[in-house]
Chain A
Amino acid sequence: MAETLRRVLNLGTSARSGEEDTAEAGPPLLLLGGPGSGKTALLFAAALEAAGEGRGPVLFLTRRPLQSLPRGTGAALDPLRLQKIRFQYPPSTHELLQLLCSAHEARGPAPSLLLLDGLEEYLVEDQGPQDAAYLAALLLDTAAHFSHQTGPGQGCGLIVALQTQEEGVSGDALQVSLLQRYFPAQCWLQAETPGPGQHRLRACLDPGGLGPRAEWCVAFRPNGEMTITPWPTQAGNLSLDKGSSSGGQP
């Protein structure tokens, strides 16, 4: 759900135009990054954002329960929003496939956003590209079914987070490129190397031909709070204030 992620990433900027609040789901999005690059935090922020839109619930799938709820972009964790996020923890690939295949049998309103954190943990057991393709396609099919259920003009978004190796292992690269073929939009999280005590990443969102690429700087404060600012376009302007949400306008 590129648009939801874009809105989350735009939250750090000063102005948010009113037209952004369309209910368009946007294309399925693959969120890529190394370990500790903030994928879970971003996913959770997207979940809160979608939960606050007043549409269907948010379905958050992950293998292991989150140890602690990631601190979002400044706004306090609204309990009403939290209530709309349904967490499920399929312990194995088989369970995940079962869940997706039987998603149409579940009762209750269809979700407005489907999130999967840690796709790589479910691909460990696969026997080849066909299994990875099957899982990706099934995720798309499930989101498409939810979209069909919610009716026209709304739709269910899909964001899947995949951890990539720091150094590109050949097998990993093949799998990533296969998954990229199923996800039109992608967002890469790359760690930058600022000074000590700072944890900063560059988020590069590629909506897959439906819009221009955009970049943001995602910074984590020591208390875990995440702040997002647009990435400065001028070269050399790397001295962003940590956590400042008004500086660095390109």
Chain B
Amino acid sequence: MAAALAGLTLPAVVEELLSEMAAAVQENARIPDEHLSLLKFIFGPSAIQALDLVDRQSITLISSPSGRRVYQVLGSSGKTYTCLASCHYCSCPAFAFSVLRKSDSLLEPRAPSRSKTYSHNSLFQRRTALPT
């Protein structure tokens, strides 16, 4: 994995990591610790919060017959938030605070702010798209 990191952009790295994690889950194998460490390295503390939400099964994928999908996340306060599937947006206050207030571009592969939007969306999408 370390060798594959050289020369790749952050999104490509994240995609590869998430694919490997998805493969592990699909085989009902344990996700290797290195993957979890890498996740935390890339995304920071929000990775733990995101995985926590996944473990508590707080994420619901709502899909319509047309194929349009959206994620509904149950926060710790009991409120539900909407997380779009196709782009970086979540209606929770954490997104507004940590992502929108920063001036970094959502599309530039700079770890701190991009990671929060990515961890907000990508992790949920990958995990919930798998059969349980």
Contact = CB atoms under 8 A, between A and B. Distances in A.
Interface string A116-153: 00000000000011100110011011001100110000
Interface string B75-94: 00000000011111101000
Given A129-B100, A134-B91, A137-B84, A145 B106 contact: no
A184 B87 contact: no
Contacts of B85: 141
Given A137-B87, A182-B87, A130 B68 contact: no
Contact of A104 (B68, B91, B103, B106): B68
Given A130-B95, A145-B67, A148-B68, 9 more contacts: A130-B100, A134-B89, A140-B86, A141-B85, A145-B68, A145-B86, A149-B67, A182-B106, A184-B107
A144 B66 CA distance: 12
B56 interface: no
A103 B103 CA distance: 31
Contacts of A184: 107
A36 to B, nearest CB: 29
A129 B100 CA distance: 7
Contacts of B101: 129
Contacts of B70: 141
Interface residues of A, number: 23
Interface of B (DSSP majority class):
loop
Contacts of A148: 67-68
A204 interface: no
Contact-residue size bin, chain B (C-beta under 8 Å from the other chain)? 20 to 34
A14 to B, nearest CB: 35
A130 B84 CA distance: 13
B96 interface: yes
B87 A144 contact: yes
A141 to B, nearest CB: 5
B86 A141 contact: yes
B105 interface: yes
A109 to B, nearest CB: 13
B64 interface: yes
A79 to B, nearest CB: 31
B87 A130 contact: no
B103 A177 contact: yes
A104 B86 contact: no
